[in-house]
Amino acid sequence: MKMKKAIVFGGAGFVGSHVADALTEFGIQTTIFDLHVSKYINEKQKFIQGDILDQTLVESAIHDKDFVYHLAGQADIGIGFDTPKDTLVLNIQGTINILEACRKFNIERFLFASTVYVYSDVGGFYRASKQACEIIIEEYQKNFGVDYTIIRYGSLYGPRADERNLIHRIIKQAILDKTIKVGYGTDEKRDFIHVHDAARMSVDLLSDDYKNTHVILTGYQHISRGELYGIINEMLGGNIKIEILNPEADRSRGHYKLTPYVFRPQVSKKLVSSKYVEFGQGILNCMEDIYEKHITKES
């Protein structure tokens, strides 16, 4: 039986690198396409360095693939506010370039990394770009038969994250500075999902059950920022100082408080794995990753 082939656009990043690893573990020949050289590529994977705005290179990368995962683009809400044109061009035109190649080479499935922010009125230009892409993807399926799965990721955490990730950022502060400094209050809530769970479920979505559907990948626990700070403080011995820099800060620059959801007449499936990384274990996992990066290597 011929081995299936997949390509992961954005496969050098936090989520993309884990999705690539999960595909490889599943026995799928996996290629990573990214603007930056991957620090996590293994010997079974191939790598292409490139830009999703380069249509010719995108087509060359996709021509012999069965599955296309698209996790590339601008995913930082703050940067989206500061550079709206660049964010919209990269996220929307880049997605169109990949879809055109999928149409041309008749791939089996296009899997697109979206966000739960598409349900909300916050998230700025990042959210707007994802909403536009979802509509475009649906039209490619209706008009050209490009089968898709839209994956709306929740609040992710785990190894390989960087400063843009909330849990990584505050654990690093707690370990290195014995202080957690945050911009505003403690009442925001999130359903955190460990990146290992999200990556594994992203591969599970290749099942025909998820063809031409929208799927929400989220965690099983609704945790507030205050609870998160308390968990981290307790796990590190209870001596961490927590500073709320601006308790009454305006959240209007993109982030939701309790829920991203506003009513929109669109149906999606919410998928929560029965096999998951327990939250406390996941936080320990993050602490070990940060110690390895910032303590062990410096000592």
> Do 93 and 53 touch, CB atoms closer than 8 A?
yes
Using one digit for the tens of pLDDT, what is the confidence trace for 1-29? 689 999 999 999 999 999 999 999 999 99
Q: Is 103 exposed, middle or buried (0-12, 13-18, 19+ CB in 10 A)?
A: middle
What's the whole-model pTM score?
0.87
Using 50, 70 and 90 to split pLDDT, how confident is the model at 280?
Answer: confident
Query: Hey, what domains does the chain have and what are their CATH numbers?
Result: 5-156+192-220+265-275 (3.40.50.720)
Residue type, 277: V
Residue 62 has φ and ψ, to the nearest 5°, of -90, -20
Closest CA to 154 of 201, 127, 190: 190
pLDDT of 125-139, one tens digit each?
988 999 999 999 999
Which DSSP state fits 207? S
pLDDT in tens, 38-79: 999 999 999 999 999 999 999 999 999 999 999 999 988 888
